[in-house]
Amino acid sequence: MSLFGPGHGACPGCGFPIAVRGALEALDGKVIAVNSTGCLEIVSSMYGRNTWGVPYIHSLFENAGAVAAGIETALRALKRDKEAHVVVFAGDGATFDIGIGTLSGMMDRNHNVIYICYDNEAYQNTGNQQSMATPTGAATTTTPAGKVIPGKMGRKKDMISIAVAHGIPYVASASIAFPKDFQRKVKRAAEFEGAKYIQVHAPCVTGWGIDGKLTVEVARLAVETGLYPLVEYENGKLVRVRKIKDRKPVEEYLKLQRRFRHLFKHPKGKEIIEELQRVADENARRYGLDA
């Protein structure tokens, strides 16, 4: 049986199946998957159409961290903790927003769990409402671009730094555009005892308004502009950064997506684009991204 799919109901070009399949393969299928409510749960666990080839449990939006911690504790009590990795798959809504309390508890107690957030930058399963992962300027159904407001006005929450601040042994960001890098990070995470957090950028074709055949290109441009830096922390120390040769301007990433299209004609659009470029430049300085 396949570790994940075929037969899932994700949209053609959806980014997160690449991450899920990649993580399961990296761990040789020795996984107990905990999946919060969200896109992944909807498309993969329909009655009669389960696409998981590993033990799987669906949790609520808010408690994937707690459910995973409970499973890990039970396995340890039964002396069966070497049989499988406990892995959470959760979207950014369940991670950055609704589930951050139980995730924080899981990291604080340092449960031996790999937590993978597939970051598609909004609540895509319910129709593209903003989350705290939504970037500045993006149009969503709760931050529609109009005459007054040019999309979301706040910044994207820095969950990588929040995870690092918990003092857990391993934290990394990744992208579905670089699947080998992602799989290497999953394998590296599995080498540590304790809580691990990996955040993987995964475009949403409907919410972002992109052609499905451009999913990987859009994800790659997020990295190559510096808007989504790929970094790796071990025991709180930044150990690896994916360098960028000839970093591209953020417009090249924005112009391919309907959610940012208004920025190129809105009176405040230029100001927002300059702010996003400033964020990319700040990432480049902070992590030393430029090769």
Residue-level pLDDT, tens digit, the chain, 291 residues: 689 988 899 999 999 999 999 999 999 999 999 999 999 999 999 888 899 999 999 999 999 999 999 999 999 999 999 999 999 999 999 999 999 999 999 999 999 999 999 999 999 999 999 999 999 999 999 999 998 889 999 999 999 999 999 999 999 999 999 999 999 999 999 999 999 999 999 999 999 999 999 999 999 999 999 999 999 999 999 999 999 999 999 999 999 999 999 999 999 999 999 999 999 999 999 999 999
Residue 129 token pair: 């409402």
Spatial CA neighbour of 285 closest among 221, 220, 229: 229
Q: Are 113 and 69 in contact (CB under 8 A)?
A: yes
Q: State the DSSP H helix or E strand holding residue 217, giving kind and residue range, or none if neither.
A: helix 215-224
Query: Structural domain tally of the chain?
Result: 1
Q: Return the CATH number at 194.
A: 3.40.50.970
Torsion over CA of 40, 46, 49 and 54, rounded to 10 degrees? 50
Domain containing residue 93: 15-287
Residue 111 is predicted with a pLDDT of: 98
pLDDT for the residue numbered 5: 83
Q: Examine residue 47 and state whether it is found in any structural domain, yes or no.
A: yes
Domain assignment of residue 136, yes or no: yes
Q: pTM of the entire structure?
A: 0.97
Q: How far apart are CA 55 and CA 278, in angstroms?
A: 44
Q: Which of these, 15, 9, 172, 38, lies nearest to 98 by C-alpha position?
A: 38
Note whether residue 7 is domain-resident: no
Tell whether 6 is covered by a domain.
no
Residue 85 β-bridge partners: 31
Burial 174-201 (b: 16+ CB within 10 A, else e): bbbbbbebbbbbbebbbeeebbbbbbbb
Which residue in 243, 219, 232, 225 sits closest to 280, CA to CA? 225
Phi, psi at residue 60, to the nearest 5°?
-75, 175
> First and final CA of the chain: distance in angstroms?
43
Q: Domain for residue 5, yes or no?
A: no
Residue 226 is which amino acid?
G
Residue type, 92: D
Quote the pLDDT of residue 48. Answer: 86
Residues 6+ apart with CB under 8 A from 251: 273
Which pLDDT score, from 0 to 100, does residue 7 have? 85
Angle between helices 100-108 and 64-77 (to 10 degrees): 30
